[in-house]
Structures are given as structure tokens and as C-alpha cells.
Amino acid sequence: MSEAKPFPEEFFNAKTTASQTETLGVVIGGSLADGVLVRLNRQTVVEGLRVGSYIAAQGQTGRTFFGYISDVELSTFNAALVPPDESTLRRFAYEASALNKVVQVKLELVSENNELRTARSVPAHFAIVRRLTKAEAQRIFSSQESRSHRLGYLLDDKDVEVRLNLQQLTERSTGVFGRSGTGKTFLTLPLLASIIQHQVANVLVFDMHNDYGYNLKGDGNSQRPGLKRLSNIQDRVVVVTLDERSSMRRSSGYEIALKIGLDEIEPEDLETLRDVLGFNEAQISTIHVLPKLFNPERWIYVLAGRGTGEEKQRLAKLFDSGQLVESTFNAIQRKLNRLLNFEFITEKSTGAVDKVINYLSTNRSVVVEFGEFGRCTAAYVLVANLLTRRIHDTYVMLKEEAEAQGSDDSPHLVIVVEEAHRFLDPKVANLTTFGTIAREMRKYNVTLLIVDQRPSQIDREVMSQIGTRITFALSDEQDINAVVTGLRDSQRLRLMLASLDSKQQALVMGHAVKMPVLVRTLDYDQSVWRAYAHSLDRLTPEEQLAKSLQMIRPQVEADLL
Amino acid sequence: MEATHGQNASGVGEALNGRVIRSSIETFVFGTRVPEQATPACGSLVKVSAVNEKVTLIGVIYDIAVQENALTRMIARASSEDLRGEESALREQAFVEGSVLCLGYLDARGRARYTFPAQPPWLLDKVLNCEDDEIRRFTSNPRFLVPILRSRAIGLSYSRLIVATIERAASLHADRRAFIESCAEELARQLSDRPVELDDLLRELEVLYE
Ligand SMILES: Nc1ncnc2c1ncn2[C@@H]1O[C@H](COP(=O)(O)OP(=O)(O)O)[C@@H](O)[C@H]1O
Ligand SMILES: [Mg+2]
């Protein structure tokens, strides 16, 4: 007798939880490259199997293969079939014989001798295919490392947490992609909190929207704590601001006001603004030639229109002699005028940049708040590039020193940039330190966490160096391409991407996960921020008061001035 | 192997007790003298214990012919009351020929096999109704339907025979619906190239399924 169970109840009851381990079907063909074909049992409800659902195939030799459904196909052996109306018996009979429900399964992993490896073969014909058991799912998707971060849970199964091994994640650069409003920032902030809490790396955030320091603004008027308000890590977080007025208005304390001295700007820094300010080739070469025509420490003052009388005369002479094209020079000056007159640009270095670097090399993390200047792309690009260049130099030095001494405990740094394509655009990626960092990867212990809504505008080579990609919904075809091209199975990953809802659902793939995984990201709410906030609750009232005072002091001082 | 039950699931009042009068590998004919109410029914499974007693051949009755005898015409023509007594005697014990399609056999270990035995039943072998347990065992695999579908002897009336056979066997299975489903599934597989016939057949089975 067939193994048929009571019918039709089970037929209409979709079983969608991955916890069940019922048999789904058997392998009937396929290949490792294109995925194996699994003919579903009559009882298996096609609708309950979405693309991306995880499955296990039982091999013959005690191996278990793991993979995910990459496509679903219905077919019939019999085109002349008379379609049954409501009748259950005929439906049943056709289902059982003439109709074919086939899913394509991409195998990623194989468990042999209790170890998970990349699958390099396929199970035999008729290998039984089933859903993952809870234990298997946990083994694959939840890092058991203590230094891990809970990103969310399986889209398919709320009961299985997705935990990333932070060490692995920060070893290489990470990309967080998705269109605006999908949850990139809400995902990144707690991730950074974990990195800091577990001391996996120091973090430097270029916070152009003022989200990460004190208050993360949500939909409506909701506010959630930024890194500096998570008491567990706040001692290791330093907020610096470019825009003191904005910080005060937002009641957002800061340790230092970041000032950039004109003397700290180098021609390369201006060159990275090529796109943003629209410099042409002639203007770029002019910028590079200036330090040679003037004192290398003074060229920028001349360009900023703050040269001495003597320098102005020299400039006029250069124009006359044709060594400098006056119109070109004036055009550059015009383009830079607004930028170089921002309040955070000072005549001389105030040492703030050094302070930031010092923090970062002594186990602190830094959030650079841009305040209102976040709206000015040129300011954002200039400051982020300039700081990153200096920091990178420092880290290279530290690493080399450490190596010379035979130790390997020089600090690790993760640099977070929103709107990353501003720095990693193909036209500037080879100029900016961001491009360098992305390419040389972890050699100097500095990696990037780039947050961007336009991955298609990021240099391809840089993209190819990104270890882990966390991708929310994208609508632009080019952006989707950019995220999946160059990867094995790009076509399938594209389908998975296309299935994402518009918020809090992401496809995570790459270095830090064992196989591509669709994740429902964790709500960043009280239960989450409590995890980073144990200390305040445990403090005595006096200590709490002291802590609070410490947090608002900068603001109080500013008010007094 | 005398059938001793008075009742079996095929609903025939008396245990059939006939003798093979003609046989080939695929089909055979048995004769029996039975009262009207005990006439064998189409779709019933019958068995013949082969001579060597090793196997029990299983077949399904696909045709029944009630034979005339010397008196039949006379009585039919007669108008008088004289022959009344004869008539009831004749009706009581008419000679009936049943045609049986061989479906397979139960082997020496009692396993159902769905293929022809090596030899046909022999003349005057006893033909008995299958017992409930034998029917259950033999029909537990829907392959018992295959010889009916393939038989040249049955021809186009196979669908009626199939419905009758399934109907008779269904009542013996604990899970009647599951049994019908497994038959439907097999039929759908076997008749995939004949969708219209399949659909007709399944519609008939649906009546049993409800
Ligand atoms: N993990 C989350 N927890 C709670 N709310 C979220 C989460 N992710 C997204 N949201 C909601 O969606 C909005 C947009 O998220 P956000 O991270 O700012 O998007 P993005 O940075 O991609 O533009 C937030 O204001 C918030 O209301
Ligand atoms: Mg954002």
C-alpha cells in the first residue's frame, strides 16, 4: 500500500516550519554546478517551499548535504490532462502520477565526520531530501563563538538565530547594501556595538547622518540609543563632532570638536573630490603642481585665497609667465571656496586629528558626527578621506612595528562609511585610501564596513574584495547585478534578493556565513540595547548620577561659554 | 482447500465451488451449478490451488454466462402449470460458466505476485472464492490492476471491471480511502497516455471514494 496518510487534510496543510524534518522528495538528477533536481513527494506542498528554503539531502555514506532551494518548477508528463475541478480523488491521482513538482537545490555544504565543508559532490539518485533539523540549522547559521553577533533569525524559521562570528566578519571588509529605509543603519549600529563590546576591533564611524553617536532616529519621532548611550561600551566610545552647533542643538555630547587645519590638506585629498566638485583633468594637474610652485606648506593657503602679499605677487607672475593658467586656478578656487570656509577648517592644525588617531590606537572607538555638514558631500568626502589616510598610515606603522617585535597584537580597526560609493567610485577608488584598504584587505588590520544604497557605483575590484555582503532589498537592476556578479550562482542569488521585503530582510553571503542566508534582522529595541547596557542598571544611584553628569558635561561647558 | 465459509466479502451468499472446464495461461473458464442468488459476480476474486499445491492462482471473474440445458427452452415455451416444479428446480441449480482473468498468484510463502504462473490451471481444478485475508493481501499492492489493463481478453470493458474489482476489495481494507487512492494513483500512471479514459475511470471511482 502506498505510504499515503489521511487525505486530503495533510495535502492542504502547508508545513512551512523548518523544524519539521519530514521527507520532501528524492534526488532525480542535476549537477553540483547547476543544482540537483529534487522531485517532491505528492504530499509536499510546493507553496510551502520558497526559494531560499534550506534543505538537507541524506547521502549514502553517512554524509549529509546541505543547500537551499534555488528554483521551483511544475510540469506535467501529460499535456492533454483533463484538469480536475474540485474533485479530490482525481486531483490526487494526477498529483501522484502525471504532475511533476521539481525543485532545484543548490548544495553548499556537506557534513562528513562531523565537520562542515564546502560540497564538492552530489548525493546519488533517490537520495532522500528533507528539511533541516533545528540542530542542523543552528550548527550552520548560529556561530557558537562567544564573540559573535546576533543579526536576526532565519526568514524561514524564527526559531533559528543567525549569529555571525565577529572575528571572521571583521577579518575582511563588509558591505551593507540596500535602498534607503531598508534597515541598513539599524542593522549596523548594534553590529558595531557587538564589535566594540567583544573587543574584536576598534571602530571609526563616519556618521554623515548623525545616527551612531547618541540618538538613532527611527520612523516617526522615535529615538534609540547610539553607541555612546550603551552603557556597557560607552567608556570605549568617543564622539567627535565637526559641527558643534548641531551637536548642541541635538543635545548630543561630544569629547572633541574635530577641526581640520588647512595645513593638513594634501593635493590627494582634493583630488578625491574630483567627482563631487567636478574638477577636470587640467584642474587636477594644477592642484598637483601647486606644492611645487609654492612652498609645500603654503600652497593651500594660496589656493584658499589666504596667501601673503608676497605669495600673491608670485601667483600673478606665474599667471603672466603662463606657468599657471589663471582661469583654471580661479575655477579651482571657486569650487573650493565654500568647503575651505566651513567652520571646521582652521588656519592651522589644532591637533584634533592626532587626538582621533590617538584614541583609535588606544582601544577606543570614534564616531565622527558631521552635523549639518553631513549634507555637504564635499565636506564628508574630504574629512573622511583625510582622516582615513592618516589613520591608515598610523596603522601600517603600528602593524609593522608589531611585526618587527614579533608580536601580533596591534589593534584592529573597522572603518564605517555610509554612502561609500563617494569614496569607492571607479573614478576615485584608486585615489582614496578607502580603495587601498579595500584592496589590501586585512594586511594592516584595517577593514571597511561600507554602507551604501548604490552598490553599482562602487568600483568593481573593490566589490570583489568585500568579504561579507549583507544586502537588503534593492530595486535598481544594476545595483542587484553589482552585488551578485562575480559570485558563483549569481542568478540564484538574484532570485533570493528579489524575494526580499522592503524592510528588515536581508541576504547575507560571503566570508562570515557558511552559505547564503536570508535573514529577518533583529528589531533594534529595548531587549537589544539592554544587552549592551548592563552596567547602568547595576550602578548605585550616585554612580548613575556621576555617569549622567559625565555624559552631559561637554554640553554644560559649552553652554557656560 | 475447501471453502467452508458461508459468507465472504464479495457479497456472494454461498462459497463458490466450481471446476475449471477450459484454461489458458491468461484466462480460464469454470463451471458451477448454483442457485440464482449465489451467481458469481463480476469483479470477484477467485482462487485455484494449483496441482502441486505450491501456489494459489488468483483471478478475477470478468464474464458470467448462464447456460441453457435441455429443459430450458421447453419450460420457457410451456404455458401449463405442469412444469412449475421443474422450473424452480432448474432455477435453483442453473449451470453457470464464469470467465476468469488470471491476475497473479500467492506464492508458496504467501507473497502476492502479479505475473502469470508458469502453468495454467488444469481441467476440473477447484475454483473457490478468495477469503477476505487473501483479497487484502493480494490487493494491498495496486499492481493487481495491471493485468486487467493489459489484457487482450478483456478489451474495452476493462474500466467496468476495474471499478467492480476495486469496489469489492475496498470494503475489506481498513483504510478504504487510502486503498482507493493507491489504485487511482496506479491507474493514473498506467493510463497517462489515455487521459480521457483515465478521467472517466477516475470519475467512477470517485463515487466509491465519497
Ligand atoms: N532592525 C530594526 N529594528 C527596528 N526598526 C527598524 C529596523 N530596521 C529598520 N527599521 C525601521 O526602518 C526605518 C529605516 O531603517 P534605516 O536603518 O534607517 O534604513 P537605511 O539606513 O537602510 O536607510 C527605521 O527608521 C526603522 O523605523
Ligand atoms: Mg541609514
Residues of A in contact with B140 (CB under 8 A): 1
Rounded CA-CA distance A211/A524 in Å is 13
- In eight-state DSSP terms, residue A236 is G
Same domain, A378 and A327: no
Average pLDDT estimate for A507-528: 89
Residue A81, pLDDT > 80, answer no
**pLDDT at residue A220, rounded to an integer:** 77
Mean pLDDT lowest among A39-48, A205-214, A341-350, A449-458 = A39-48
Residue B6, pLDDT > 60, answer no
A551 alpha carbon – ligand 2 mean position (Å): 25
Same domain, A410 and A511: yes
**pLDDT at residue A7, rounded to an integer:** 33
Query: For residue A165, which of A186, A142, A182, A183 has the smallest C-alpha distance?
Result: A142
Same domain, A209 and A244: yes
- In eight-state DSSP terms, residue B72 is H
Residues of A in contact with B167 (CB under 8 A): none
For A:62-81, CB contacts with B below 8 A are 77-78, 80-81
Q: Determine, yes or no, domain membership for A286.
A: yes
* Sequence-distant (≥ 6) Cβ neighbours of residue A68 within 8 angstroms: A51, A52, A53, A54, A55, A105, A106, A108, A515, A516
Rounded CA-CA distance A15/B84 in Å is 70
Q: Determine, yes or no, domain membership for A491.
A: yes
Residue burial B66-87, b: 16+ Cβ < 10 Å; e: rest? eeeeeeeeebeeeeeeebeeeb
Distance from first CA to last CA of chain B, Å, rounded?
37
Q: Determine, yes or no, domain membership for A557.
A: no
* Atom from ligand 1 closest to the CA of residue A524: 3
Same domain, A299 and A377: no
Residue A11, pLDDT > 80, answer no
Task: Please compute, for residue A169, the number of CA atoms within 13 A of its CA located in the half-sphere on the CB side.
Answer: 30
Per-residue pLDDT band for A540 (boundaries 50, 70, 90) equals low
Same domain, A335 and A364: no
Query: B4 — phi, psi (to 5°)?
Result: -105, -15
> Which ligand gives the minimal distance to the CA of A501?
1
In terms of Cβ atoms closer than 10 Å to its own Cβ (0-12, 13-18, 19+), residue A63 is middle
Residue A530, pLDDT > 70, answer yes
**pLDDT at residue A9, rounded to an integer:** 35
CATH number for A375: 3.40.50.300
Rounded CA-CA distance A526/B43 in Å is 72
pLDDT digits (tens, 9 = 90+) for A192-241: 999 999 999 999 999 999 999 988 888 877 888 899 988 888 889 999 99
pLDDT digits (tens, 9 = 90+) for A310-361: 889 989 999 999 888 999 999 999 999 889 989 999 999 999 999 999 999 8
Q: Determine, yes or no, domain membership for A485.
A: yes
**pLDDT at residue A539, rounded to an integer:** 55
Average pLDDT estimate for A514-521: 92
Cell triple for A426:
571607479
**H or E stretch at A422:** helix A421-424
A56 alpha carbon – ligand 1 mean position (Å): 33
8 A C-beta contact, residue A262 and residue A298: no
User: In testing the pocket of ligand 1, which one of A179, A186, A212, A504 has its CB within 8 Å of the most ligand atoms?
Assistant: A186
Please give the distance of CA B198 from its chain centroid, rounded to a whole number: 22
**pLDDT at residue A496, rounded to an integer:** 84
Residue A548, pLDDT > 80, answer no
CB contact under 8 A, A87 and B187: no
Rounded CA-CA distance A375/A417 in Å is 14
Same domain, A381 and A452: yes
Same domain, A121 and A63: yes
Per-residue pLDDT band for A534 (boundaries 50, 70, 90) equals low
With a 6 A CB cut-off, is A504 part of the ligand 1 pocket? yes
The domain locations on chain B are 16-209
A188 alpha carbon – ligand 1 mean position (Å): 10
**pLDDT at residue A14, rounded to an integer:** 36
Residue B9, pLDDT > 50, answer no
A1 touches B at CB < 8 Å: yes
- In eight-state DSSP terms, residue A142 is B
Same domain, A183 and A280: no
Q: Determine, yes or no, domain membership for A141.
A: no
Cell triple for A475:
530595486
With a 6 A CB cut-off, is A184 part of the ligand 1 pocket? yes
- Residue A291 sits in which domain range? 263-340
Per-residue pLDDT band for A77 (boundaries 50, 70, 90) equals low
Which residue's CA is minimally distant from atom 11 of ligand 1? A183
Q: Determine, yes or no, domain membership for A493.
A: yes
Domain tally for chain A?
3
Residues of B in contact with A3 (CB under 8 A): none
Average pLDDT estimate for A147-164: 91
With a 6 A CB cut-off, is A180 part of the ligand 1 pocket? yes
Same domain, A371 and A487: yes
Q: Determine, yes or no, domain membership for A297.
A: yes
Q: Determine, yes or no, domain membership for A540.
A: no
Mean pLDDT of chain A: 85
Residues of A in contact with B188 (CB under 8 A): 93-94, 96-98
Same domain, A335 and A359: no
Same domain, A377 and A471: yes
8 A C-beta contact, residue A427 and residue A274: yes
* Atom from ligand 1 closest to the CA of residue A180: 23
Mean pLDDT of chain B: 83
A498 touches B at CB < 8 Å: no
CA distance B93 to chain A (A): 40
Residue in chain B lying closest to A83 (CA): B199
Considering A142-146, A161-165, B3-7, the range whose residues carry the highest mean pLDDT is A161-165
Same domain, A406 and A513: yes
ipTM confidence = 0.71
Task: Please compute, for residue A111, the number of CA atoms within 13 A of its CA located in the half-sphere on the CB side.
Answer: 16
